[in-house]
Structure 1
Amino acid sequence: MTTDARLKQHVVRRELHSPKSGLAIVLALIAIVALAWVGTESVLAALGRPALLLSPSAMAAGARGLPSLQPGVLIAVGAVIAVIGLVLVIAALTPGRRGRHIIGAGSTAAVVNDEVIGSALVRTASSVAGISPDRAVAEVGQRSATIRLTPVSGVALDRAAVERAVAEAADGLGVTPAIRTRVVIDKKGKVGG
């Protein structure tokens, strides 16, 4: 692989994936606050002052008393801690994703926001359906796009034609990863053009 190809691959990956710094900062702040609180309680206990919430001796007594709790409570607390741990492990191991796709291949590629893709699909769907673009909304995900149309009251939309046009438009964009399209037509229309 050439240096230019590696550089392009690095830039595209960086634009498509988000860092986990936000989660790391939140977890670090929680740890800092917890340690500051325990440290403050320890200093207050050493100075003979009343505790803010729990004194270190009360914390130790509470920890020693855990085995005497109901087994159901211990299981529930353990399950909650396990779920939190599992969520954190999954968050640490999976890459963050930004709402973007790659358009183009070969030596040049453009990274576009999902809103741009959604706007293009909305424009296509609304023109084929014969409705105003503000009566269509697109939700674009990593591998799928859903276009929701609100028809004019009393006017039926040709679902097959809209689905075909939207699928062709999505294929014509040449996005990577490819997008599966779905058209949803609201059952209740709105009055007006």
Structure 2
Amino acid sequence: MNQDRSLRRLVRREIHSSRATASVLTASVLAVVFLWLALESVLALLRDNPVLASPGQLGHWLAGVPDKTIPAGLVATGAGLAVLGLVLLAAATAGGRRSRHAFHSDRSAVVVDDEVIASAVSRRARLSAGLAPGQVTTTVSKRAVRVQVRPTSGVAVDRDAIGTAVHDELAAYSLDRRITPTIHVSKEGALGQ
């Protein structure tokens, strides 16, 4: 396996969340149920007393469920099982993504948390506009950066200068996936900043 391929694999493992917990939990529940059914079957073959119910008792109970249960209960149970199935299917197929981005590097795998990127972008925007630390907040998502600027009351800020500073900051990171910044300057200013 060459170095580029292993670096890509490492980055992917850091950016995407594992499904191991859901898989182990589902497999454990199913294993307990099947082991219990196997135990009950062996006890029935040995003509011993069942732990909970023999296979014959379970079959008789299952055959009588439609007659002994109100239709709304059957519908609710079916809907609950369908929702559980959809949740398990979504957990299995949906790509779980952590709030991280990868930087392009020829030598190593570099993964940075979105909060770190947001902090750096906020600092750069704040310094370019000459604002206090609490006046610029940034949120980073999978494909977007949103910069919220709250200027000092009565003092205008240059939105284009902030946009250029944010673009330069993001370009310096060489992110593996392009994220587009949006700058929003609040109409309400901050007092005494």
Normalising by structure 2, what TM-score? Answer: 0.70
Alignment of 1:176-191 (within 5 A): 176-191=176-191
Indicate the residue corresponding to 1:6 in structure 2. Answer: 5
- Residue 107 of structure 1 deviates from its aligned partner by 3.1
Q: Specify whether residues 77 and 146 from structure 1 end up closer, same or farther in structure 2 by C-alpha distance, changes over 3 A only.
A: farther
Q: Is the 8 A contact 2:152 2:190 kept in 1?
A: yes
- Residue 175 of structure 1 deviates from its aligned partner by 0.7
Q: If you compute each CA radius of gyration, which structure gives the higher value, 1 or 2? A: 2
Normalising by structure 1, what TM-score? Answer: 0.70
Distance 2:141 2:125 in 1: 18
Distance 2:187 2:22 in 1: 41
Q: Specify whether residues 131 and 66 from structure 1 end up closer, same or farther in structure 2 by C-alpha distance, changes over 3 A only.
A: farther
Q: Is the 8 A contact 2:152 2:192 kept in 1?
A: yes
Indicate the residue corresponding to 2:39 in structure 1. Answer: none
Distance 1:184 1:27 in 2: 45
- Residue 192 of structure 1 deviates from its aligned partner by 1.7
Indicate the residue corresponding to 2:16 in structure 1. Answer: 17
SS of match in other structure, 1:18: coil
Q: Specify whether residues 68 and 170 from structure 1 end up closer, same or farther in structure 2 by C-alpha distance, changes over 3 A only.
A: same
Matched positions, count: 179
Q: Specify whether residues 15 and 153 from structure 1 end up closer, same or farther in structure 2 by C-alpha distance, changes over 3 A only.
A: same
Q: Is the 8 A contact 2:8 2:109 kept in 1?
A: no
Q: Which amino acid is 2:20 matched to?
A: S
Q: Superposition RMSD on alpha carbons, in Å?
A: 3.8
Q: Gapped runs of 5+ residues in structure 2?
A: 35-49
Alignment of 1:31-180 (within 5 A): 63-65=65-67, 69=71, 74=75, 81-180=81-180
Q: Which amino acid is 1:160 matched to?
A: D
Distance 1:179 1:126 in 2: 20
Q: Which amino acid is 1:14 matched to?
A: R
Q: Specify whether residues 78 and 152 from structure 1 end up closer, same or farther in structure 2 by C-alpha distance, changes over 3 A only.
A: farther
Q: Gapped runs of 5+ residues in structure 1?
A: 36-41, 47-55
Distance 2:91 2:130 in 1: 44
Q: Specify whether residues 77 and 158 from structure 1 end up closer, same or farther in structure 2 by C-alpha distance, changes over 3 A only.
A: farther
Distance 2:102 2:168 in 1: 17
Indicate the residue corresponding to 2:41 in structure 1. Answer: none
SS of match in other structure, 1:163: helix
Identity across matched positions, percent:
35
Q: Encode CA deviations 1:137-177: one digit per residue, 9 max, x unaligned.
A: 22111211111222222323222221222122212211111
Q: Specify whether residues 13 and 45 from structure 1 end up closer, same or farther in structure 2 by C-alpha distance, changes over 3 A only.
A: closer
